[in-house]
Amino acid sequence: MNLNRMTDTFVKSWAEAFHYTAEHSPFYREMFRGMKRVPRLEDLPTVDKKTLSERNLDLLCVPREQVVEIVTTSGTTGRTLLWMFTESDLQRLAINERQSFECVGLTARDTALVAVTLDRCFVAGLAYWLGLRQLGCTAVRVGPSSPVMVLEMVERLQPTTIVAVPSFLKMVAEKAKEMGFDLANSSVKKTVCIGEPVRQPDFSPTSSGRAIEENWGARVFATYGVTELASSLCECEAGVGGHLHSDLLHIEILDDAGRPVSDGEVGEVVATTFGVEAMPLVRYRTGDCAALFRGRCVCGRATPRLGPVLGRKNQKLKIKGASVFPSALQAVLESVEGVDAFVIVARAESELSDSVEVLVCGGASAATLREAFQGRVKIAPKIHQVPRSEIEALQMPPHSRKRRYFVDLR
Ligand SMILES: [Zn+2]
């Protein structure tokens, strides 16, 4: 019954998206030329970020005077990709984010600190703020730069929730410790985490997710969003993948050959937006790898759930016949005692194999690390002990927007 209703929603939403893009999008008008009837979505070609970068403004379906917001996201040409929204798109973004926060269990009674960037042409902070407002929560835009301001607001406003990047939550926890602030017993009971992994592929918390839960005495909720899709998916209390809002977005998971994979199997996330006015997308290859789970969730929602993102498709490492995502190596490094900082560097060795080096500092010995890698991911990267400054220079090159733990020189 429920499944039929979802299918009907899909058929209607896809037909609308097809007719709209075929008529208004210069890019899709070209692609869909000669198609008189609504094609099957899976019969259409996919589009990747390279195409978006090359044809950026050909994806715009409305006259420029209807655009009310422009943000940027990373591109493939060295310049950022421009992404545009109409008033109706911002409302859709707010609905999407409200639904995501409903998964977290927030209501109008909640006060949430928004500790992510609202400027610098990012969309995420704006989307969260719009969603919290639509839900009727009290939003407090503390931003991501001052742990002291966060702690002050926790004390004065008694917020229930904080939306932040995990590494910033860690900084706040360190500051709290330094100031003798009892964060674990504060009013904050939910942390909505974006941008860095807080769950492993089996949904257990990563070491950073576990540290947040301990230091904050709060639940961790993972959320995943893509600027170009004007959408995000957020976990519910069950913590078994981000719930898809099927009326706003359709997701397929494809293998390297472009075929759909089975339920729960990892592949590339390919998405089609519904209800977008300015820059709708059809079968967009996000480059992110994750699995989709279609079974009903214990929270009662029947919508599919997207599992943790294991990494970018082009980041997958090939080491002596085995393939592994840098995130798996990162999880190993985060779990070993005595690793103060690290960065993973990949270079091309041959067609079939990459050379992977791990630069670390701290007390952990190379032998301990080698054993941990062999035991957990069954590969042995080269390990080098280097000064912390060398690692930090690789993690944060000039003008970078976020810290990186993986450097790809292939
Ligand atoms: Zn659920």
Under DSSP, the state recorded for 160 is S
For range 88-107, the mean pLDDT: 98
Over range 115-128, report the average pLDDT. 95
Mean pLDDT of the chain: 94
Q: d(Cα 222, Cα 192) in Å, to the nearest integer?
A: 6
Residue 11 neighbours by CB under 8 Å, 6+ apart = none
Distance, CA of 226 to CA of 71 (rounded, Å): 12
Helix, strand, coil percentages (3-state) for the chain, rounded to 5, are 35, 25, 40
270 CA from centroid of ligand 1 (Å): 22
pLDDT at 6: 58
- Which of 321, 315, 334 is CA-nearest to residue 376? 334
Closest by CA position to 11, among listed 45, 29, 37, 33: 37
| Contact assessment for residue 175 and residue 147, using Cβ atoms and an 8 Å cutoff | yes
pLDDT of residue 122: 94
Say if residue 267's pLDDT is above 60: yes
Q: What's the CA-to-centroid distance between 192 and ligand 1, angstroms?
A: 15
237 pLDDT higher than 70: yes
Per-residue model confidence as pLDDT tens digits over 289-312:
999 999 999 999 999 999 999 988
pLDDT score, position 132: 98
Report pLDDT for 213.
98
The CA 308 to ligand 1 mean position distance, Å, reads 14
Q: CA 123 from chain center: how many Å?
A: 12
pLDDT, tens digit (0-9, with 9 covering 90-100), for 23-42: 999 999 999 999 989 999 99
Note the pLDDT of residue 323.
83
Distance in Å, CA 93 to ligand 1 centroid: 21
Pull the structure tokens for residue 178: 């330094």
d(CA 92, CA 197): 26
Is the confidence at residue 321, as pLDDT, over 90?
no
Check residues 2 and 12 and name the one with the higher pLDDT: 12
Q: Please give the distance, rounded to the nearest whole angstrom, from the Cα atom of residue 33 to the centre of ligand 1.
A: 40
Q: How many CB atoms lie within 10 A of CB 298?
A: 11
Q: Output the pLDDT for position 398.
A: 83
Question: In the predicted model, is pLDDT for residue 399 greater than 80?
Answer: no
Q: What residues contact residue 292 under an 8 Å CB cut-off, 6+ apart? A: 241, 244, 251, 253, 263, 264, 304, 305, 306, 307
d(CA 306, CA 241): 5
Averaged over 119-127, what is the pLDDT? 95
The pLDDT of residue 350: 86
Whether the pLDDT of residue 402 is over 90: the answer is no
Going by their DSSP bridges, the two strands 322-324 and 341-348 should be labelled as unpaired
Torsion of CA 300, 240, 309, 113, to 10 degrees: 80
pLDDT of residue 196: 86
**Averaged pLDDT, 116-141:** 96
- At 105 the pLDDT is 98
Residues 6+ apart with CB under 8 A from 328: 310, 376, 377
Residue 1 scores a pLDDT above 60: no
How large a percentage of the chain has pLDDT more than 70? 98
The alpha carbon of 136 and the centre of ligand 1 are apart by a number of angstroms equal to 22
The separation between CA 54 and the C-alpha centre of its own chain, rounded to angstroms, equals 23
Question: Distance between CA 363 and CA 339 in Å, rounded?
Answer: 6
Q: Is the dihedral of CA 372, 378, 384, 387 positive or negative?
A: negative
> Is residue 256 a contact partner of residue 289, using CB atoms and an 8 Å limit?
no
Stretch 397-409: mean pLDDT: 83
Q: Cα of 88 to ligand 1 centre, how many Å?
A: 28
| pLDDT tier at 76, thresholds 50, 70, 90 | confident
Q: For residue 4, is pLDDT > 60?
A: no
Confidence at residue 5, expressed as pLDDT on a 0 to 100 scale: 54
Contacts of 376 (CB under 8 A, 6+ apart): 328, 331, 332, 335
What pLDDT does 88 receive?
98
State pLDDT tens for residues 340-364: 999 999 998 888 889 999 999 999 9
Using the mean position of ligand 1's atoms as its centre, give its distance from the Cα of residue 298 in Å: 6
User: Given this model, what pLDDT does residue 401 score?
Assistant: 67
DSSP E strands in 117-181: the ranges are 138-140, 161-164
**Cα–Cα nearest to 87, from 99, 61, 69:** 69
pLDDT (average), residues 320-333: 87
What pLDDT is stored for residue 2 in this prediction? 46
pLDDT score of 383 more than 50: yes
Tell me which of 186 and 79 has the higher pLDDT. 186
Centre of ligand 1 from the C-alpha of residue 233, in Å: 11
CA of 193 relative to ligand 1 center, distance in Å: 17
Q: What is the pTM of this model?
A: 0.89
234 alpha carbon to ligand 1 midpoint, in Å?
9
Query: Cα–chain-centroid distance for residue 254?
Result: 18
- Centroid of ligand 1 to alpha carbon of 238 (angstroms): 6
